[in-house]
Amino acid sequence: MKKYNENQNFNLIVSTKNTAFGIPSSAFTVTYASVDDIASKTVVTGGAVEALSTISIAHTAKTTSAASYGAISLNIDSSTSTIVAGDTIEYASGMFAYVSKVVSGKIYLYTPIRANVASGATLTQVGNEGVYATSNIAIPTSGEFLVQVSAPEYGIDVEERISINAPATVTTPDANAPVYAGAAVAY
């Protein structure tokens, strides 16, 4: 169980395991509730945002035939393609897929495409990682809490139990207290 202090900012990380890219932050709901009162949830504003890698020169490919909604592979011109397994590609405006392998002029995708792709379409590598970080969460009281991150439209519903501790208090020694300069003796 992760532990934080009262009012300490923290973020939860949610991985879609390369299945959901480009989800808008507004699609996420982040809440927390004490495990003693699960019904009383507090909503955290800001949702969650996707981690993006910086790509200096994007890998690209051109399709050589059309592909229908639901396809798990795309035929490409292998003589000009620079796309490799592990790339996340944009195959239609705002539609992304993870490339699981590239073999003999064909790209195999981890998940089915969600739009038709025309012959001659350009596939472009993007920095989307399918990993989302919540906005800052700071719980003001100590105890055990259940934090929930959900984006129901995208099949995401994650819960994590965390512990919030009261910050340790440091007391100043009493300057007027007597100081004993003796040794401990065992009898």
Q: Where are the domains of the chain?
A: 2-51+131-165, 60-126
Per-residue confidence band for 176, with pLDDT thresholds at 50, 70 and 90: confident
Compute the average pLDDT of residues 135-140: 94
Residue 104 and residue 17 in contact, taking contact as beta carbons nearer than 8 Å? no
Q: Classify 7 as helix, strand or coil.
A: coil
Q: Which DSSP category does 78 fall into?
A: T
What's the confidence (pLDDT) of residue 180? Answer: 61
Q: What φ, ψ does residue 43 adopt, rounded to 5°?
A: -90, 135
Compute the average pLDDT of residues 109-127: 96
Quickly list DSSP for 10-70: B--EEE-SSS-----GGG-EEEEEETT-TTS-EEETT-EEEEE---SS--EEEBSS-B-TT
What's the confidence (pLDDT) of residue 119? Answer: 97
Percent of the chain at pLDDT exceeding 70: 94
Tell the CATH topology of 2-51+131-165.
Answer: Immunoglobulin-like (2.60.40)
In the predicted structure, residue 66 carries a pLDDT above the cut 90: yes
Q: What φ, ψ does residue 27 adopt, rounded to 5°?
A: -80, -15
In the predicted structure, residue 183 carries a pLDDT above the cut 90: no
Residue 90 and residue 114 in contact, taking contact as beta carbons nearer than 8 Å? no
